[in-house]
């Protein structure tokens, strides 16, 4: 759930990029950060190993225009995909409002994609989240590789809930912004319902005073 401060009219929404290691999560986040004017975003925070794998997580905050009079900030995270960093992924997923799953199109990594999404579902269950209820978008990255998984197989194996999905080549910034806009729209749509519900409850309380 977004963190909403009804008194100060501020709210924070958390979007997390997940997926197998080296699938393109960091590349996506770097491209998004670069495309946003500096006065709308915080510096990108990353801790990388010598091999450019995300060791802990990537993070930056993005200030959006007001939504229903609330100052809105999106907190964008990218978590490591390696099995060793499962505890990091689980920690960052706490309080998530929207998810972007980055799948690696290399046909030899299909098992890694499936393992990653099953791992994600398991961690969400541990937090009490309902997988089908969380805003969720899939990006099929690295579509420029010579041997890739077909879109039909990807959709059949990974997209059981029929979420919006996009083909991408993140290193060329293809499909990156489209994916990000889609998850933002889904999060804002759910946020609008939450705010409407909050206003309704607040009005009901005032009527009973």
What gap in Å lies between CA 137 and CA 60, rounded to an integer?
Answer: 19
Tens digits of residue pLDDT in 115-161: 999 999 999 999 999 999 999 999 999 999 999 999 999 999 999 99
pLDDT average, residue stretch 99-127: 96
Average pLDDT, the chain: 85
Could you tell me which residue, 80 or 145, shows the higher pLDDT?
145
pLDDT at 86: 73
Please state, as a whole number, how many other Cβ atoms lie within 10 Å of the Cβ of residue 108.
Answer: 11
CATH number reported for the structural domain that contains residue 131 in this entry: 3.40.50.300
**What predicted TM-score, i.e. pTM, was given to this entire model?**
0.86
Q: Any bridge partners for residue 106, and if so which?
A: 148
Strand 3-5 and strand 10-18: the pairing is antiparallel
DSSP code per residue over 136-160: EEEEEE-TTSSSB--HHHHHHHH-T
Give the domain extent around 116.
3-207
What gap in Å lies between CA 14 and CA 8, rounded to an integer?
Answer: 19
pLDDT at 209: 52
Strands (DSSP E) contained in the chain are: 3-5, 10-18, 58-63, 71-78, 98-104, 136-141, 164-167
- Asked if residue 58 lies in contact with residue 24, where contact means CB atoms within 8 angstroms, the answer is no
Residues ≥6 apart with Cβ < 8 Å to 9 = 69, 70, 71
* Domains identified in the chain, total number: 1
Comparing C-alpha atoms, which of 75, 133, 80, 132 is closest to residue 102?
A: 80
């Amino acid at each position: 759930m977004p963190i909403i401060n009804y008194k100060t009219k501020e709210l924070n929404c958390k979007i997390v990029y997940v997926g197998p290691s080296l699938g393109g999560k960091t590349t996506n986040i770097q491209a998004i950060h670069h495309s946003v004017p500096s006065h709308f975003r915080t510096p990108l925070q990353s801790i990388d190993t010598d091999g450019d794998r995300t060791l802990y997580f990537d993070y930056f905050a993005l200030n959006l225009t007001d939504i229903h009079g609330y100052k809105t900030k999106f907190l964008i995270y990218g978590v490591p995909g390696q099995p060793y960093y499962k505890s990091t992924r689980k920690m960052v997923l706490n309080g998530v409002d929207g998810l972007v799953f980055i799948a690696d199109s290399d046909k030899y990594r299909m098992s890694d994609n499936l393992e990653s999404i099953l791992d994600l579902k398991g961690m969400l269950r541990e937090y009490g989240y309902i997988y089908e209820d969380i805003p969720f978008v899939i990006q099929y990255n690295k579509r420029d590789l010579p041997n890739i998984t077909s879109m039909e197989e990807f959709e059949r194996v990974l997209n059981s809930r029929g979420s919006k999905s996009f083909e991408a080549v993140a290193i060329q910034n293809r499909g990156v912004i489209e994916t990000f806009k889609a998850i933002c729209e889904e999060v804002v749509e759910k946020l609008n319902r939450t705010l409407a519900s909050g206003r309704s409850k607040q009005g009901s309380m005032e009527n009973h005073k």
